[in-house]
Amino acid sequence: MRLLIWASSYGQTIGGVPVLAPLLAAALVQRGHAVTALTDRRPENLEARETRDGVQIHRPLFRRALAGDVTLVHEIRRDVAAIKAEAQAELVFIFSSGYGDFFHHVTERRHPAPLVVALHDCFPEASFRADAMVGRNLRAAAWVTACSAAALETARRHLPALAPISSVIHGALPMPVDPPAAPGGGRQRLAYLGRLVPQKGVDVLIAAVALLGGRFPSLRLAIAGEGDERAALEAQVVRLGLASRVEFVGALAHDAVHRFLAAADIVVMPSRAEPFGLVALEAAQMARPVVASAVQGLPEIVGDGETGLLVPPDDAPALADAIAMLLEDPARARALGAAARRRAEIKFAWGPYVDAHERLFEAILRR
């Protein structure tokens, strides 16, 4: 099979899409498929073209072009048409919607192929209009997948015609080879990993840590990630007198994620919105319990009272109480983490994730 994958981000930033897109593309190459990837060039000092893990990766300056550079728009349109002619794709897969989608549609007639679209967000209603890019993608698709039942339900509610041509393929990750070490040593360490943006609710987590300070003098929180809200969060830490308890460690390389999560007793996801929540899966692989907001797709990963604890979003006291419950009962925390790892090995296994995509693509091509 010759496959063209469009991804809003491919391996260079934090988040589920930039992690999953290159892993899936490489896995399909290993199974004998020819894969070409098109993604935005972020940051702009990246190579415009490279081959990695057998995948031909192209990075036009989509965002810069669509910011108003008409000459660049025409150049990229020609370049994308040439890439498509070279790839001769039998199927196009928009893994995540982004700036490049426009260039797919304006070159599609010259190189037609069935389209599969994956949804990695619970988009607002306006995104499903025929004149919006997500809506245009979905109306052109032969099939649509969603990263969670929550994301699929949102899409079907706003665009009912998707019901007979859509399904869920939950996110997954390869399981780490080495088993995680058990937490211990009397530590009381919390970890947050993700973008520092309002959607992620890090301000709620910091407020919860302030509420816990008197009960747990040794409690520490490590925050990994970058984003526009970092300065405001650092100011909140100072204002609440938490400078000795909260550490901002910045962005992590992908190979450092497991070590970071394994160093914690509890991983916290205080999100206000989370279509899937790959960090919850990464924590489960490290046998760490997750305390998370009960929003969108997170309850599909975190079993409340089984692999972690769920709390209402935007509720710092409830979040603090759930964290305290596990800090006061380390045996229960370890049991939840062990159960999370077992569930990850079965329900979110990497091989079946790749199988599901491969079967879907082959079924589309047999039509």
330-350 pLDDT, tens digit per residue, is 999 999 999 999 999 999 999
List, in order, residues 6 or more apart from 157 with CB less than 8 Å away. Answer: none
Q: How far is the C-alpha of 286 from the C-alpha of 175, rounded, in Å?
A: 9
pLDDT of 299 over the 80 cut: yes
Count of domains for the chain:
2
Share of residues in the chain with pLDDT > 70 (%): 98
The C-alpha angle 227, 300, 271, rounded to 5 degrees, equals: 25
pLDDT computed for residue 184 by the predictor:
62
Domain annotation covers residue 143: yes
CA distances from 107 to 7, 111, 118, 141, 177 (A): 17, 7, 20, 15, 42
What residue numbers bound the domain in which 303 lies? 189-347
List, in order, residues 6 or more apart from 143 with CB less than 8 Å away. Answer: 116, 117, 165, 166, 167, 360, 364
If asked whether residues 82 and 108 sit together in one domain, one would say yes
pLDDT of 178 over the 80 cut: no
Contact 176, 210 (CB under 8 A): no
If asked whether residues 353 and 334 sit together in one domain, one would say no
Element (H, E) at 293: strand 290-293
Parallel, antiparallel, or unpaired: how do β-strands 189-193 and 34-39 relate? unpaired
Tens of pLDDT, residue by residue over 135-149, are 999 999 999 999 999
If asked whether residues 16 and 132 sit together in one domain, one would say yes
If asked whether residues 13 and 152 sit together in one domain, one would say yes
pLDDT of 195 over the 90 cut: yes
Contact 53, 22 (CB under 8 A): yes
List, in order, residues 6 or more apart from 360 with CB less than 8 Å away. Answer: 116, 143, 145, 167, 169
- Three-class SS of residue 276? coil
If asked whether residues 195 and 51 sit together in one domain, one would say no
Q: How far is the C-alpha of 262 from the C-alpha of 273, rounded, in Å?
A: 25
Task: Classify residue 107 as left (phi > 0), alpha (psi -120 to 50) or beta.
Answer: alpha
Q: How far is the C-alpha of 125 from the C-alpha of 85, rounded, in Å?
A: 35
Q: Helices 230-239 and 202-212 meet at what angle, rounded to 10? A: 20
Q: How far is the C-alpha of 92 from the C-alpha of 89, rounded, in Å?
A: 7
Tens of pLDDT, residue by residue over 79-106, are 999 999 999 999 999 999 999 999 999 9
If asked whether residues 143 and 240 sit together in one domain, one would say no
If asked whether residues 249 and 296 sit together in one domain, one would say yes
Contact 100, 66 (CB under 8 A): no
If asked whether residues 353 and 321 sit together in one domain, one would say no
| pLDDT band per the 50, 70, 90 thresholds, residue 13 | low
| pLDDT band per the 50, 70, 90 thresholds, residue 177 | confident
If asked whether residues 286 and 145 sit together in one domain, one would say no
Tens of pLDDT, residue by residue over 30-67, are 999 999 999 999 889 999 999 999 999 999 999 999 99
Contact 267, 193 (CB under 8 A): yes
Sheet bearing 266-269, strands edge to edge: 246-250, 220-224, 189-193, 266-269, 290-293, 308-311
If asked whether residues 164 and 263 sit together in one domain, one would say no
Contact 206, 237 (CB under 8 A): yes
Identify the sign of the CA torsion 154, 159, 160, 162: negative
DSSP state for residue 181 in the 8-state scheme: P
Domain annotation covers residue 134: yes
We report the CATH number of the domain holding residue 214 as 3.40.50.2000
If asked whether residues 216 and 243 sit together in one domain, one would say yes
pLDDT of 185 over the 80 cut: no
| pLDDT band per the 50, 70, 90 thresholds, residue 271 | very high
If asked whether residues 114 and 257 sit together in one domain, one would say no
Identify the sign of the CA torsion 307, 309, 310, 314: negative
Mean pLDDT of the chain: 94
pLDDT computed for residue 349 by the predictor:
95
Parallel, antiparallel, or unpaired: how do β-strands 189-193 and 220-224 relate? parallel
Q: Helices 202-212 and 316-327 meet at what angle, rounded to 10? A: 60
pLDDT computed for residue 255 by the predictor:
81
Contact 50, 37 (CB under 8 A): no
Joined tokens for residue 257 = 């994620």
pLDDT computed for residue 145 by the predictor:
98
